[in-house]
Structures are given as C-alpha cells and as structure tokens.
Chains A and B, each alone.
Chain A
Amino acid sequence: MVTLNHYLILSAILFAIGTAGVFVRRNLITILLSIEIMLNAVNLTFVAFGRALGSADGQIIVFFVMTVAAAEAAVGLAIVISLFRHKESLNPDSFASLKW
C-alpha cells in the first residue's frame, strides 16, 4: 500500500540529494542541476498533497513552479555563459571578486 508518507519521504530524499549537490559540487552547471532536483522534489510534494486532498490546486502550483524553473534556468545559464567568457572557468570559487 503506497501512502502519502511514501511520496513525502521520497521527496525528502530527493531534496536532500539536491542540497548535497549544491554544497559539494564545484561546477556551476552541476549546481544548477542540483537546484532542478530540489525543485522537482517540491513538485512531487505538491502533487502528492493535491492527490491526498482531492484538489487540483497542487497540479496548478506545479505548473507555476515549472514556469519559474524555466525562467531560472534561462537566466542562470545566461549568467554562467557570461561568467565563463570572463574567466574561462566554471568553478564558483574563481568568482570571488566583486569587480574585474
């Protein structure tokens, strides 16, 4: 029997994996991918709660989260490209100065 708790625990595991990726990895693209993992974990929570409450609102919020994720990915990747042009590196530690 699969219950709401199963989905919530799966979502918590995915969110923790995303958090670990943001902390551990030193590559801007992988960090953005980890943020996508976290956004998807939250989406799963929304859909599971929407299913448990018998409401369509969970799925609608997921729609908005996906839109924000798309906008975030577009702007984030544009920033990554522009940073890479300056330093030829994707390591966030090399972008420590406020001005170059």
Chain B
Amino acid sequence: MGSEGIAFYLFAAIAIGASLLVIAQRNPIYSVLLLIASFGALSGLYVLLDAPFVAVIQIIVYAGAIMVLFLFVVMLLNAPHEDTEFDERVHPLLRPGPMRFGAFLALVLAGELFWALTRGGDTGAFPGGAVTSVAVIGRSLFTDYAFPFEVTSVLILVAMVGAVVLARRDDPRERRDRGGA
C-alpha cells in the first residue's frame, strides 16, 4: 500500500468517524464542529483525486461559510439540547420505535449500495490525464455551462430574499403603520 492508499484510508476514516459523531452528538454545536472536521477530510480526498479547485472551495465555501452560518444559528437559538418525549438519558441513537426503524432503513440502504458496488468487479486504477487546471474548469464554466451559471446567480438572489423575508420578525406595530399609510 503506497502513500496514496495510506492517505485515502486516513481521510476516509476521519470522514466516516466525524460524520457518525455528527449524528450521535446531543449538542448541535459539537455536531457542527465535527462536520467541519469531516469536510476537511473530504477536502483531502479531493486533493487525492487531483481536484485542487474543489478541495479549496470545499474548505472556503463549505467549512468557512455554510458551517459558520449553521454555527451562528445554533448560537442564536441557544437551544443546545434535543427536547423530545423520550428520556433525556437515553442516547438519541438508541431510542425506540419509528426512529429505530429509520436507522434500520439507512443500514439497508448502506447494504444495498455496498452490494451494488462490490459485485461489479474491480474498476482498476484511475487513468492518467486528470483535469487539475482551474483555467480549464473556468473556461468550461463560462462557455459550456454559462447558462446554468447565470441561473445559479438568480437562485442565490432568490435564496437571499427568501431568507430575509422568512427570518424577519413580524412586528404588529409595524403592520398597523403600513395598514394606515
């Protein structure tokens, strides 16, 4: 096993372990921080896949922007613990009934995917000639994918307006003023 194999298994172990801990934590702040660790490991995997551009935007956009947004909301709501009808001492992953069934379904999904992927035979090593250049990606993005790229900007605008409208505090006094005007 070469150094690439060691790095792959190291990053894969970090990604899987951190993701498991994300769904096993009671406190959402720890969940968010562990997810950042998982994204860091995924970024390392992207480097192994000769995709440095994706690795960098994984860190900057995902770990840097989206996860900080989550962290802001967790701290803003200040609701660290999961309130359910279940006993607080029972770990969230060990609760009875429909949730256990959901976990079972997820295991079945993992088994199906594993079965489908392992029976196809070995795909062999990756071929040479990976696209690593940011210039090539950028050229493709602004020529072949120019229309989806522009649609993306509209999507972000809609999401921004939607987030502002949804999270705005609906003040009754303000509404009366508007009605009277």
Contacts and interface: CB of A to CB of B under 8 A. Distances in A.
B15 A23 contact: no
Interface in B107-156: 107, 109-110, 113-114, 117-118, 120, 122-127, 129-131, 136-137, 140-141, 145, 148, 152, 155-156
Dominant SS at the A interface?
Answer: helix
A48 B49 contact: yes
Given A3-B123, A70-B65, A19 B109 contact: yes
B82 A2 contact: no
B117 A12 contact: yes
Contacts, number: 241
Interface size class for chain A? Answer: 35 or more
B4 interface: yes
Interface string A84-100: 11000111010000000
Contact of B152 (A2, A10, A44, A67): A67
Interface residues of B, number: 88
Nearest to A57: B140
Contacts of A58: 51
Most chain A beta-carbon neighbours within 10 Å: one of B23, B57, B84, B105 = B23
Nearest to A27: B82
Contact of B103 (A15, A20, A71): A20
A74 B171 CA distance: 22
Contacts of A8: 117
Nearest to A16: B110
A10 B15 contact: yes
B92 A26 contact: yes
A82 B156 contact: no
Interface in B5-33: 5, 8, 12, 15-16, 19-20, 22-23, 25, 28, 31-32
Interface string B24-52: 01001001100100110010011011110
Given A25-B82, A30-B23, A57-B140, 12 more contacts: A1-B2, A7-B49, A13-B110, A23-B102, A25-B23, A30-B22, A64-B152, A70-B156, A75-B162, A78-B166, A81-B77, A90-B83
Closest 4 CB pairs of A and B: A23-B102, A16-B110, A20-B106, A71-B159
